[in-house]
Each structure stands twice: as structure tokens, then as C-alpha cells.
Structure 1
Amino acid sequence: MHASDGSIRGQLAANLRRARSGLGLSISELSRLSGIGKATLSQLESGAGNPTIETVFSLSRALRMPISDLLDASTAEPTVVRGADVEVLRGAGVDLRPLSRLETGESIVELYDQRVRAGRRQDSDGHVGIEHTSVQAGTLLVHLAGRTTRLEAGDYIRFDATAPHSYEAPDGEVRSVLLLQYRPDRAGATITPH
């Protein structure tokens, strides 16, 4: 697989190399910052790795950049995204379909179709941005700061995504819309290796 293809793997490979190089980080330094093994990072940069939600969120956190900076390619307007054509980014309990990235002078917003699998839980150690989730179908449990919030279809939650959090679908699949919002001063922040 080559980094120039339109797959998640290909986009991640090209964007990860560019971001790491732009920050002057070695693979070893990025491994330490992200908690991802050097061999895995090398595979991801070559387009041969199989990225998971956990991996992409760890890279976003370590590089202090929006997820879409790692996954998107520039496209011309208008853009139509067919759900069946979008490659799914899978995690322990969630399937994410990246749909769009929107930029304004005040923020960057990423739009995802999010499905939490029945009886599964997706944990996150936290990542940059503000997370907005609107439940479309099902019952979603959101675990955050030692509290659990139950959301039904039509409910919405917003929180600081830097805090550890998780989503859980106790009663069946949950369909939701996930928006990740980044302030320009937080997106692409400079990292000082330790």
C-alpha cells in the first residue's frame, strides 16, 4: 500500500511522516510520547500498519494535533461522502467513519459517524479537543470524571476530551454523531520532547 492512496492507512502514513518530521521528532521520541512501539510506528509510516482508534487517538494526543490532520487529504468542494464508501476506523468498542473536517477562524471541527457496538465499551486516555456527541439511536453510557451519564436518542453531551473517558452501549448498538472541536491555539501545538 502506498501513502498516496485514499485509504486511512495511506493518509495516516503520509500525514504521520510529515507531522513527525515537521516537529523534529525521531520515531523513538514519538514512541515514548505516544506509548506506541517503534516497529508499529514504522509500519504506520510505511502504510503497512493497521491503525486502530486507540492508535490514532494516541498519536493525536502525542502530536497535539487534530485527528483529521492525521487522516484527511485535501479535497475540492463540493464533497459528497457516501457512508458505504468510508473506511471504518475500528476500536475495542467503537466504529468511526470520518466524514469531514471544517475550519473556521475560531475552530477546527471534525465530523464522524460513530457506532458503539452492542455490549462493548471504548476507553480513551484523553486527547486534544472538545468532544460533542449526539445520540441518534440506542442508549449510550458516557463515563467521565468518575461519573456515568446515560444518553438516549436525541440527547447530547459535550466535554473536555483531554480527560480520560469512555463510551458504552449496554443495551444494543448505539448510532451517534461525534464532533471533535479544536481551538486553533491547541491544534498543531508545538511539542517539546522530554
Structure 2
Amino acid sequence: MNTTEDDVLAQVGPRLRALRQSRNISLAALAAETGLTASTLSRLETGKLRPTLEQLLPLARAYSVPLDDLVAAPPTGDPRIHLRPIRRGSFTVVPLTRRPGGIQAYKVIYPPATSSPPTLQTHDGYEWFYVLNGQVRLLLGDQQYQLGPGEAADFDTRTPHHLSSAGTQPAELLTLFSAQGERAHLSPLTDTDHHHEAQSCDS
């Protein structure tokens, strides 16, 4: 194997790890979805195991990305980010950063509000978001906030929380997230009686 191929394969591990962390998926959950063992996934991410096509195909399916995204790094010095929307349940996420680890930026689009009961989630990390369009409903612990365009909020994601559109139109957010944990733990919503209007962010 030549040096160029070695360099390409050396970048696969960090890319796989960044994808998993950005989606808050544990190795155990990813193993169950792909059929690969948690040990194999860990060795792929750390570069201790050279990836094969048979291993990368189920990972590309699990992450809903083209196989090329797992293997081919962007040209050195090219600042362009190729935006590829990702569906996560009922909402859409557009990654705005491509480096592994650290703070990740996303554009998030929530569909119009529904009557479905919300489910609070908790996970390690910290999140900041800015409302671009629409109305956003933020449930944080036993508090409820409604934010409109130009308003922002930040919170520790270890606090039970839920984000969704609060109106009849989609809501669009710019989100910065520091991922430090594993897969989100879901818990039922217990109290939404309190409603507070969020303060506008100082410009």
C-alpha cells in the first residue's frame, strides 16, 4: 500500500469517531445497528484496524452519508463545506463544520408543531442556539420558553430538555453544540405548566 492510501485510511478513524459523537450514538448502539462488534468499531475509530468495504458500507448506511464521505477527505486548503441535510426523526440537521471533535455547528429545521407529547432528553454537553425563523419551544427541566427570530438560548444538555417548533410554520435554528457524551437518555415529560417568555439576546 502506498503512502497516499495510508494517509487516506489514517483519516477514516477520526472521521468515524466525529460522526458518532456528533450524533450522540454509543458504540453499543452502533454495534447493534451495523452488526459490527463494539470492539471492532473502537479499533476502527482509533486507527488500530484498517477499514474494509464490508465494514464501511453498514457504517455509511447507519450515518446516512455517502461512502465517499467516510473515505475521501476534502482537498487540503479548500474552505468549502458541502452541506448535506441529515434527517433525525422528525427534524432535519445540516452540519456546518467538518472538523472532528470540539464545538460543532448546525442548522436545524423543525417541522410545524404537532399534538404529539414531547419527550425530554439528557446527554453530556452544552448547547447554544439562535432562532433564524419561526417560533421555537424550549422545554428545560420543568420550565417552558418560547423564542422567536433574533432570540437565543444556551443550556447544559444534562438538564432534561426538548426543542420543537411552537407554531404552524417550520422553525430554523443556528446551533452550536459541544458533544461530550454518549447516546441521549430519554425520560417522560413531567411538568409543562410553567411558561416563561425568553429574553431577547443582546446584539
TM-score bracket, shorter-length normalisation: 0.5 to 0.7
For normalisation by structure 1, the TM-score amounts to 0.55
SS at match of 2:35: helix
In structure 1, the residue matched to 2:130 is 134
Please list, as runs of the form range in 1=range in 2, the aligned pairs for 1:127-166 lying within 5 A after superposition: 127-166=123-162
Determine the C-alpha separation between the residues in 2 that align with 1:18 and 1:152.
30
SS at match of 1:100: coil
Determine the C-alpha separation between the residues in 2 that align with 1:17 and 1:86.
16
1:111-158 superposed Cα distances (whole Å, 9 cap, x missing partner):
111111112578563233210010011000011112111000000000
In structure 2, the residue matched to 1:79 is 79
In structure 2, the residue matched to 1:125 is 121
Q: 1:73 to 1:131 in 2, by over 3 A?
A: farther
Question: Number of residue pairs matched?
Answer: 139
Determine the C-alpha separation between the residues in 1 that align with 2:93 and 2:104.
12
1:42 to 28, 35, 38: 35
Determine the C-alpha separation between the residues in 1 that align with 2:72 and 2:177.
17
Give yes or no for contact 1:101–1:108 (8 Å, CA) kept in 2.
no
User: 1:77: how far off?
Assistant: 3.4
User: 1:89: how far off?
Assistant: 1.8
1:28-64 superposed Cα distances (whole Å, 9 cap, x missing partner):
x932xxxx37441437954333447xxxxxxxxxxxx
Determine the C-alpha separation between the residues in 2 that align with 1:73 and 1:149.
42
Determine the C-alpha separation between the residues in 2 that align with 1:169 and 1:142.
9
Structure 2, gaps ≥5 residues long: 6-11, 21-25, 42-54, 65-69, 183-203
Letter in 1 for 2:112: A
In structure 2, the residue matched to 1:173 is 170
For normalisation by structure 2, the TM-score amounts to 0.53
Structure 1, gaps ≥5 residues long: 5-10, 20-28, 53-70, 189-194
User: 1:100: how far off?
Assistant: 0.9
Q: Percent identity?
A: 17
In structure 1, the residue matched to 2:45 is none
Give the 4+ runs in structure 1 shifted more than 4 A: 11-14, 16-19, 71-75, 120-124
User: 1:160: how far off?
Assistant: 0.5
SS at match of 2:16: helix
Determine the C-alpha separation between the residues in 2 that align with 1:149 and 1:72.
42
